[in-house]
């Protein structure tokens, strides 16, 4: 049965509504960044660029890097934007936009997030890289979907107990990365820390920052920092990873999230050259993708 026009909205030129893309405009390997300005910071390393579009916070460039076709897409900030990006990317490769029917043969994309974050642990220094083994949804985005097949109730229950999680909040959901894709980013010469990335739905209160508003749970950050269960711990806090992991798993795509650590909240330190740290992660990621 064709998908209704109100559910899959297309632009007059046939491109998907928010991303402004047609199927031929994207590669099968996609790098996601938050900041639209970071797209060109990655594609400046490309051999050539074949396509560019920019609508709202969503900027896309597709081209070749060392002979491999890649797309770089900015998502803007937050899990709500990830919901738009992942669903529209999947539609581009797995739905016939003319007939509005799901393709019989489904395509799996490789999705690599290249972002920035602050470390929650004192032993994960600024200027390092964190590869998210899992994403923890404390923002509720994934509750719109059936996640029983991809969640990790044992770890979730341990977090709920240790944090005294409020019953008035959405249940935390933990989703693992794609192990096969994550293996590409292991490097004996580059220290890559691994752990669970916490994904909040805001920058201030949801991440424990206080300006003028009192927090509902002023001790939540300390509970997150001190969480331990078996070999699991939380390494960093940001606003995208759990949504990328959850939606990718549900839709059949492979995803991994890499973060340049530009701040350490446990030590109160900040990188002396954050631009260089980000550029190092970009170079590291591009070279690992094409190895």
Q: Using 50, 70 and 90 to split pLDDT, how confident is the model at 188?
A: low
Domain count, the chain: 1
pTM here is 0.96
Tens digit of pLDDT for each residue in 92-101? 999 999 999 9
The whole-angstrom distance between residue 289's C-alpha and the CA centroid of its chain comes to 16
Given a cut of 80, is residue 189 above it in pLDDT?
no
In a domain, 16, yes or no: no
- The dihedral region occupied by 6, where left means phi > 0, alpha psi between -120 and 50, and beta the remainder, is alpha
Establish if 161 belongs to a structural domain. yes
According to the model, what pLDDT value does residue 265 have? 85
- Cα(97)–Cα(9) distance, integer angstroms: 10
Q: Would you place residue 278 in the very low, low, confident or very high pLDDT band (cuts 50, 70, 90)?
A: very high
- Tell me whether residue 258 is in a domain: yes
Residues in the chain: 291
Q: Are 156 and 213 in contact (CB under 8 A)?
A: no
Residue bearing tokens 């470390």: 119
Residue 243 scores a pLDDT above 70:
yes
Query: What range does the domain containing 272 cover?
Result: 23-290
Could you tell me the two tokens for 166? 């409020």
Q: Say if 11 falls within a structural domain.
A: no
What is the DSSP annotation of 275-286?
Answer: HHHHHHHHHHHH
User: Does 215 map to a domain?
Assistant: yes
Residue 179 pairs in a beta bridge with: none
In a domain, 52, yes or no: yes
CATH (domain of 129): 3.40.50.1580
Q: Is residue 10 part of a domain?
A: no
Q: Distance between CA atoms of 263 and 269, rounded to whole angstroms?
A: 6
156-187: per-residue pLDDT in tens? 999 999 999 988 899 999 999 999 999 999 88
**Do the domain assignments include residue 8?**
no
């Amino acid at each position: 049965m064709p998908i209704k026009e109100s559910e899959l909205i297309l632009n007059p030129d046939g491109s998907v509504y928010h991303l402004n893309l047609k199927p031929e405009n994207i590669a099968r390997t996609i790098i996601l960044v938050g900041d639209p300005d970071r797209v060109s910071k990655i594609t400046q390393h490309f051999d050539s660029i074949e396509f560019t579009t920019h609508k709202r916070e969503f900027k896309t460039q597709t081209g070749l890097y060392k002979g491999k076709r890649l797309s770089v897409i900015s998502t803007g900030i937050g899990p709500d934007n990830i919901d738009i990006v992942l669903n529209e990317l999947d539609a581009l490769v797995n739905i016939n936009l003319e007939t509005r029917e799901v393709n019989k043969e489904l395509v799996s994309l490789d999705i690599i997030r290249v972002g920035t974050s602050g470390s929650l642990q004192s032993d994960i220094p600024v200027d390092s890289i964190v590869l998210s083994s899992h994403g923890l949804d404390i923002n509720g985005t994934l509750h719109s979907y059936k996640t029983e097949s991809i969640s990790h109730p044992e770890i979730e229950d341990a977090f709920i107990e240790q944090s005294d999680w409020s019953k008035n909040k959405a249940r935390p959901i933990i989703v693992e990365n794609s192990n096969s894709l994550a293996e590409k980013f292991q490097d004996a010469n580059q220290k890559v820390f691994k752990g669970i990335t916490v994904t909040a739905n805001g920058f201030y209160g949801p991440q424990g920052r206080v300006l003028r508003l009192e927090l509902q749970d002023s001790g939540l950050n300390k509970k997150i920092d001190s969480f331990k269960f078996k070999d699991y711990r939380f390494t960093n806090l940001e606003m995208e990873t759990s949504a990328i992991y959850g939606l990718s798993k549900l839709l059949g795509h492979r995803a991994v999230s890499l973060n340049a650590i530009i701040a350490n909240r446990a030590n109160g330190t900040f990188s002396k050259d954050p631009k260089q740290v980000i550029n190092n992660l970009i170079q590291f990621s591009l070279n690992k993708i094409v190895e």
